[in-house]
Structure 1
Amino acid sequence: MDIRPDGSIWVATSEGVATAPSTSSLSLPASWQTWSMDEIGSPPFTWIRALDQGIVAATSSSVTQYKDGIGWSEWTQAGSMESFDVVEVPGTDQRVLLQRVRMLVFQGDNVLKNIPFEDRSARIELSSSTSNASSSGEITLLRGSLTRGVIEHRFDGNWAEVSTSTMRLNTPATNALKSITMTGNGFLGAVSETFDNNFISDRKKGMTVYSTTTGWTNVNQFTNSTMAEANFQLSFQSVATESYAYVGSWGSGVARMALDAEGTPTGEVTLFNALTSSLRGWELDNDQYVVISGLETDSQGRLWTVSRFASRALAFHDEGSADWTLVPKVSGLSSLDLYEGLFIDSRDWKWVFLKSASRVGRGVMVLDTGADPTSRQDDQAVVLNASSSSGNLPDATVTAVIEDQRGEIWIGTERGIAKLLFPDLLLVGGVAERTAQWLIAENPTGPSPYLLRDINVTAMVVNGANQKWVATANDGLWLVNASGTAILEHFTEENSPLLSNAIQDLAFDPATGNLFVSTSAGVQIYQDRANQGASKLDNLSVYPSPFSYERHDEMILEGLPTRSRVRVVTIDGQRVKGMDAEGGRVRWDGLSDDGKRLSTGVYIVIALDRDGKERAVGKVAIVR
């Protein structure tokens, strides 16, 4: 859709083109003049531009014009190269048509100048400085490049280029991140394992790093020669250490990027694939095609990876070293059990998600690789699946595993969540110790007593209050309490600003309480109620202060220890409100214990740890 300078609205649909004066009653069919695509003689248009001198619309291989008093006709001089945009040059009868790798300057219907580019383009706009090219003799165009940001081109009156400058935008190359991981000063994102069959977008799928100090850095084939030479793309796993960011790809192995003290990539990329390392892919397919479907760190700072379905799929790597050491497959494991995903707990046990060659879920293997990971002699392992005697999982397709603050292991599947209360006993116990508990609601009122029984889990994280955020494939974002017996929040596209109900990954920053939510439509940040508790009590932060009932819904009390008691008192010591906080932050609506608004004044906020040994004090002004 576009609006012409005379105020008329022009709309292109799959059926045809329609126009109407913007001042008319647009809901009335009689207000519109229409042309079917058969009348125009073209396939449906992909874009339309309403210009002072007429209308221009295009398909992927042709351009059509509409001229007042003449009608629609193919703009044959534009050729068959895909076109993306067109602008008029003020004060002239010239138009600039932007195509994939060039601009065509037209005088009337004839080509005046062909200006080629090395990169591909998406949009052009005339700079505000180009108000009348016939009098100024200079034309400035802003061109949106698919790989370089925004390019400013300055031309003289004969279309000779005077200067070119690049304005790089501080944004991610793509906002649909398949995997996100917190770094020391921001977060790391891996993009997608899915081919778009698009030269530009597929090659952008490298690594995206956000630093709170320096902003966004995109590392992909367009910005890094090492990735370009190896055709590295389709990253979909990520992990970070203090010195490096790692991403695992679909077919290209692992990329390692050095980080400086601010968490910003330095530009030095090392690739680990079948040509440069010991990593190999699935032998029954192509062992040179290394799909990294699991990437984690252990308590020693060692990196671990799973090369999907490979015979020696598990491998480890000391930070900064030149290769990976392959770990033998666990003996006695069924030939149907192929390694796919990976989680490492606080005991350094590896939770390896299993699937068959046909991608049917086979549960999760819990593996203790012992003192020597390269030897099977000291390995201990057990497989948990949906059988009541071998794990009792809600489903055999395991999609996420987390460990909470109490040491419980929560296992997400394609059909719900289960938890293991005493995972330490898994490798030495019997059936009872290996039986996971499904989440059971405190007050079951529906047809099933189980909480979130049929959700398709994609990711889980633990917040500062030991509550669990649960991402799903098609049902938005859930928050459940620490014990998994109650739903505290459920965000969807319909009831919140959530961009999409299809959530790909989650990351939680315990210092700030920020929850990073990666959806199929972009990345969002939600400020959780519970961040990490303070290790030592000090002065509390209370904001906003002053708090006004007319302007604010709630205030935030921050700087609390994990699990504290909060009391709000008047200046003379009269208690007006008591609260318990599980994390380092609590929200208060300003109402007293009996649900009433407080009088205007200054109130003292006191927080005690659960032992009553330490306290912190803050104050807040309330305006009634």
Structure 2
Amino acid sequence: MPLFFILVPLLVLSVFAKDWVHYSGQNEVRDAVLTDNGTLWAAFAWGLAERISNKTENIYMPGNNNLQAADFVQLYALPNGDIIAVSKNGTLVRKNKNSRNFETINASFVEIKRNVRQGLGKRAENILVLPLEGAIAFFNYEQNRSVITLSQLGTNSLEEYPIKRIAVKDNSIWVELDAAIWKREISWAEIYNDRFLADPNSWNKVNEIPFAEESKPSYTANFLNTYLKRAKEISVLGSDVIIWGVEKDDVEYDFFVRIRNNEWGSYFLANPTGYYDDQKDVFSKSLALMPDGNFASGRWGAGLLTFDNGFPKTQLKQWFHSTKNTCPTKFKNENTNGYTLVQGLTASPDFSGYLFSYVSQDNYGIGFLNGNSDSPQCIKPTEASSPYAYSIIAREKNEEWEIYVAWKNIMEAKDGGVDFYKTSSKNFSPVLQKKWSLPFGSPIDFGFDKQGILWAVSSSKIFYLDEKDDEWKEPSYIRSFNGGVISALETDAKNGLWIGILGDGAYLFSQTNNSPDSLVAKHFKTKDGLLNEVVYDIAIDTIRGKVYFAHDLGFSIYSTALVRGDYIKSSSPKTIVYPTPFRPNLHSFLTIDFISEKSSVYILDSSGKRVRIFRGNDLQGGRVVWDGKNESGKLVAPGLYHYIAADGKNTNKGKIIIER
């Protein structure tokens, strides 16, 4: 039986954010202090909490109140009621008691790349003592500048012996290490005149700290934003968001959660089959969502799983595995005994089912599961470049599906290439057209931009397919990109490319003059509102103008017009309708896609009578979503219907088939 976790949010943590909304279940209190005016502050991975004496609770996260940091590990209460918070990487922020906003007062410690040790810091008059990994720093908060950073006390290197405790009383400071306790007299008001402060021998070894550690004030979080502690993959379509994540308590759960129309459903196991696998430890893009809310997941071991569109509870529908099916087939080597490895997965271009690739003996396989079928179709092309297939993407062109499959030379390697297939959209029978062995590494993610150009990323490179020259190319010019370990690629309705980086946030790339050969990057980090910079995946809702980031603290949503679709020009893809046929008792809605935002869209019955009309905000992103109801709010009868989309200059027409 599937295991469900019921989510009962008590307080949304990011209600103050204008452009950013964050969700994180990492509610461990890292530090807590009480100010002179009775305000209790607590530091968290996701931000800061303020509990005023009248019990009012304020939550601060990146993207609101000018807070440009997260991952806080240290708090200092100042005599005037102000607060200074220090992030793990060494960013110092200050909030005046009379201000709603934070100010970043110092980021110089970030550059030395020594993390701040949690909750050990002390304030001595106007000096903050910061314990670092391998060092101890002194910071003047009145002048907002560092005084000195020391890496050795007496005969002990702080690289070798970490700081365990810091104590301050009057003009004395004690620093306890694993090896010894060191003491020094410091006149805090005259610290800049202390000529021997940098001399390790000016510290004296003592036997003990003559007083006990002061206890921290107790802070119990009375809110729950989500149980989600780390999100690995996100898929967005229509009103549904599917998140694959990991919940870490004493046990690490591999699970999904669905959000529909901004409401959270129940958590459910991502692999309820009982067949153990290693998907939570694997990095791949193997989640596909349909317009009706059904979705599928590829697994490293458990094969291919499909789930229904239930809400708030979602159930496993189908499980395809080599122990119970002939498709997909198993893979066996010295480390894997019969695992079914489905690591490439995408919706078919017409949303009639799922296309997937799988690792297999000798040659990888490609499969198609029709949404109305109980069994997939699989082939193992004899011309396949490798046994190891991963990411997959497809589009429809001239009534054919064009399928691109990424492969690796060996399972553990990064090098590989792309194989290109074509098949009739009516009869799944892929035929190899082209092979590329790439110097950039095997693609980990694909995306078609608004112009129809196919982009790909490896773990270190960004490249695209130049169809005219029939070769993959890197852009000749990329500005403002720092590189890093690439994790994800997504394209938006404005021809932008979004790239996720493990440890350095995300980038939005714009094409200069719509040329793929020249890119300009905009960087998104914690200082720009992103909650966490270890980004695993990115998904985009072009209708509502939202970018979803899966990261190490949960996930974040960025609302921006940068990704919202404009009206569709005549050079854009032809108008499509999906799913077809439309079954209102099975599908949540029907989508008419690639139409002008300036249009009026009419739904007509077979006699030509108007059933429904859409215009204005109904067409944001160049698509219409119809629930199958007429203007009176009643479901229409089964049969043949027509749509007409007209913008005053152009008219698009098409058929809609409704079945029960």
Q: Which shifted more, 527-536 or 243-252?
A: 527-536
Could you tell me how far apart the structure 1 residues matched to 2:435 and 2:346 are?
20
Question: Which residue does the alignment assign to 1:227?
Answer: 272
Could you tell me how far apart the structure 1 residues matched to 2:498 and 2:262 are?
27
Question: Which residue does the alignment assign to 1:382?
Answer: 434
Question: Which residue does the alignment assign to 2:338?
Answer: 288
Question: Which residue does the alignment assign to 2:98?
Answer: none
Question: Which residue does the alignment assign to 1:244?
Answer: 294
Could you tell me how far apart the structure 1 residues matched to 2:531 and 2:211 are?
45
Are 1:314 and 1:327, in contact at CA under 8 Å, matched by a contact in 2?
yes
Are 2:231 and 2:244, in contact at CA under 8 Å, matched by a contact in 1?
yes
User: Per the alignment, in what secondary structure is the counterpart of residue 401 of structure 2?
Assistant: coil
1:483-536 deviations in Å (ceiling 9; x for gaps): 335545512326512234432222111211211122333322222324123579
The reply on whether 1:397 has 2:442 as its aligned counterpart is: yes
Question: Which residue does the alignment assign to 1:188?
Answer: 242
Are 1:296 and 1:303, in contact at CA under 8 Å, matched by a contact in 2?
yes
**For the structure 1 residues 450 and 472, does the alpha-carbon distance in structure 2 shift closer, same or farther, using more than 3 Å as the test?**
same
Question: Which residue does the alignment assign to 1:522?
Answer: 554
- Uncovered stretches (5+) of structure 2, i.e. residues with no partner: 1-30, 43-73, 76-114, 130-167, 182-209, 570-593, 599-618, 622-646, 651-660
Question: Which residue does the alignment assign to 2:564?
Answer: 531
Could you tell me how far apart the structure 1 residues matched to 2:464 and 2:452 are?
11
Question: Which residue does the alignment assign to 2:325?
Answer: 277
Q: 1:463 aligns with which of 492, 496, 518?
A: 492
TM-fit CA distance, 1:434: 1.6
Question: Which residue does the alignment assign to 1:427?
Answer: none
Question: Which residue does the alignment assign to 2:461?
Answer: 416
Q: Which has the higher contact order (CA 8 A, sep 6+)?
A: 2
Question: Which residue does the alignment assign to 1:343?
Answer: 393
Question: Which residue does the alignment assign to 1:27?
Answer: 128
**For the structure 1 residues 450 and 3, does the alpha-carbon distance in structure 2 shift closer, same or farther, using more than 3 Å as the test?**
closer
The reply on whether 1:259 has 2:309 as its aligned counterpart is: yes
TM-fit CA distance, 1:305: 2.0
1:206-239 deviations in Å (ceiling 9; x for gaps): 2121112532431127xxxx82744577456211
**For the structure 1 residues 314 and 3, does the alpha-carbon distance in structure 2 shift closer, same or farther, using more than 3 Å as the test?**
same
TM-fit CA distance, 1:327: 1.3
Task: Give % identity.
Answer: 13
Could you tell me how far apart the structure 2 residues matched to 1:464 and 1:421 are?
20
Which residues of 2 match residues 304-453 of structure 1 at below 5 A? 304-311=355-362, 312-319=364-371, 321-328=373-380, 330-334=381-385, 336=386, 338-346=388-396, 347-357=400-410, 358-370=412-424, 379-386=431-438, 395-422=440-467, 433-441=469-477
Q: Which amino acid is 1:380 matched to?
A: L
- Uncovered stretches (5+) of structure 1, i.e. residues with no partner: 42-68, 73-85, 89-122, 126-141, 143-149, 151-168, 387-393, 423-431, 442-448, 537-559, 565-582, 586-610, 615-624
User: Per the alignment, in what secondary structure is the counterpart of residue 243 of structure 2?
Assistant: strand
Are 1:182 and 1:240, in contact at CA under 8 Å, matched by a contact in 2?
yes
Which residues of 2 match residues 153-168 of structure 1 at below 5 A? none
**For the structure 1 residues 16 and 355, does the alpha-carbon distance in structure 2 shift closer, same or farther, using more than 3 Å as the test?**
closer
Could you tell me how far apart the structure 1 residues matched to 2:372 and 2:337 are?
25
Question: Which residue does the alignment assign to 1:75?
Answer: none
TM-fit CA distance, 1:364: 0.8
Question: Which residue does the alignment assign to 1:206?
Answer: 255
Are 1:370 and 1:379, in contact at CA under 8 Å, matched by a contact in 2?
no
**For the structure 1 residues 352 and 179, does the alpha-carbon distance in structure 2 shift closer, same or farther, using more than 3 Å as the test?**
same
Could you tell me how far apart the structure 2 residues matched to 1:38 and 1:175 are?
32
Are 1:15 and 1:36, in contact at CA under 8 Å, matched by a contact in 2?
no
Q: 1:477 aligns with which of 497, 502, 507?
A: 507
**For the structure 1 residues 470 and 87, does the alpha-carbon distance in structure 2 shift closer, same or farther, using more than 3 Å as the test?**
closer
1:524-580 deviations in Å (ceiling 9; x for gaps): 2222324123579xxxxxxxxxxxxxxxxxxxxxxx98699xxxxxxxxxxxxxxxx
Q: Which amino acid is 2:474 matched to?
A: W
1:579-616 deviations in Å (ceiling 9; x for gaps): xxxx969xxxxxxxxxxxxxxxxxxxxxxxxx9849xx
Could you tell me how far apart the structure 2 residues matched to 1:70 and 1:414 are?
52
Which residues of 2 match residues 601-620 of structure 1 at below 5 A? 613=649
User: Per the alignment, in what secondary structure is the counterpart of residue 531 of structure 2?
Assistant: coil
Are 1:210 and 1:217, in contact at CA under 8 Å, matched by a contact in 2?
no
Could you tell me how far apart the structure 1 residues matched to 2:175 and 2:482 are?
52
Could you tell me how far apart the structure 2 residues matched to 1:435 and 1:17 are?
54
Q: Which amino acid is 1:326 matched to?
A: C
Could you tell me how far apart the structure 2 residues matched to 1:208 and 1:265 are?
9
Could you tell me how far apart the structure 2 residues matched to 1:175 and 1:17 are?
22
TM-fit CA distance, 1:379: 1.5
User: Per the alignment, in what secondary structure is the counterpart of residue 557 of structure 2?
Assistant: strand
User: Per the alignment, in what secondary structure is the counterpart of residue 272 of structure 2?
Assistant: helix
The reply on whether 1:499 has 2:531 as its aligned counterpart is: yes
Kindly report the root-mean-square deviation, in angstroms, between the aligned alpha carbons of the 2 structures. 4.8
TM-fit CA distance, 1:298: 0.9
Are 1:251 and 1:291, in contact at CA under 8 Å, matched by a contact in 2?
yes
User: Per the alignment, in what secondary structure is the counterpart of residue 480 of structure 1?
Assistant: strand
**For the structure 1 residues 27 and 467, does the alpha-carbon distance in structure 2 shift closer, same or farther, using more than 3 Å as the test?**
closer
TM-fit CA distance, 1:170: 6.4
Normalised to the residue count of structure 2, the TM-score between the two structures is 0.50
Are 1:341 and 1:352, in contact at CA under 8 Å, matched by a contact in 2?
yes
Could you tell me how far apart the structure 2 residues matched to 1:372 and 1:287 are?
36
**For the structure 1 residues 486 and 433, does the alpha-carbon distance in structure 2 shift closer, same or farther, using more than 3 Å as the test?**
closer
Could you tell me how far apart the structure 2 residues matched to 1:563 and 1:9 are?
48
1:42-63 deviations in Å (ceiling 9; x for gaps): xxxxxxxxxxxxxxxxxxxxxx
Aligned length: 397
Question: Which residue does the alignment assign to 2:638?
Answer: none
Q: Which amino acid is 1:245 matched to?
A: F
Are 1:298 and 1:344, in contact at CA under 8 Å, matched by a contact in 2?
yes
Q: Which amino acid is 1:343 matched to?
A: I
**For the structure 1 residues 414 and 24, does the alpha-carbon distance in structure 2 shift closer, same or farther, using more than 3 Å as the test?**
closer
Q: Which amino acid is 1:518 matched to?
A: A
Query: Whose radius of gyration is greater, 1 or 2?
Result: 1
Normalised to the residue count of structure 1, the TM-score between the two structures is 0.52
Are 2:361 and 2:387, in contact at CA under 8 Å, matched by a contact in 1?
no
Could you tell me how far apart the structure 1 residues matched to 2:595 and 2:377 are?
41
**For the structure 1 residues 385 and 456, does the alpha-carbon distance in structure 2 shift closer, same or farther, using more than 3 Å as the test?**
farther
User: Per the alignment, in what secondary structure is the counterpart of residue 294 of structure 1?
Assistant: strand
Question: Which residue does the alignment assign to 1:578?
Answer: none
Q: Which amino acid is 2:566 matched to?
A: G
User: Per the alignment, in what secondary structure is the counterpart of residue 230 of structure 2?
Assistant: coil
Could you tell me how far apart the structure 2 residues matched to 1:315 and 1:405 are?
27
Which residues of 2 match residues 167-186 of structure 1 at below 5 A? 171=226, 173-186=227-240
Could you tell me how far apart the structure 1 residues matched to 2:345 and 2:230 are?
19
Question: Which residue does the alignment assign to 1:99?
Answer: none
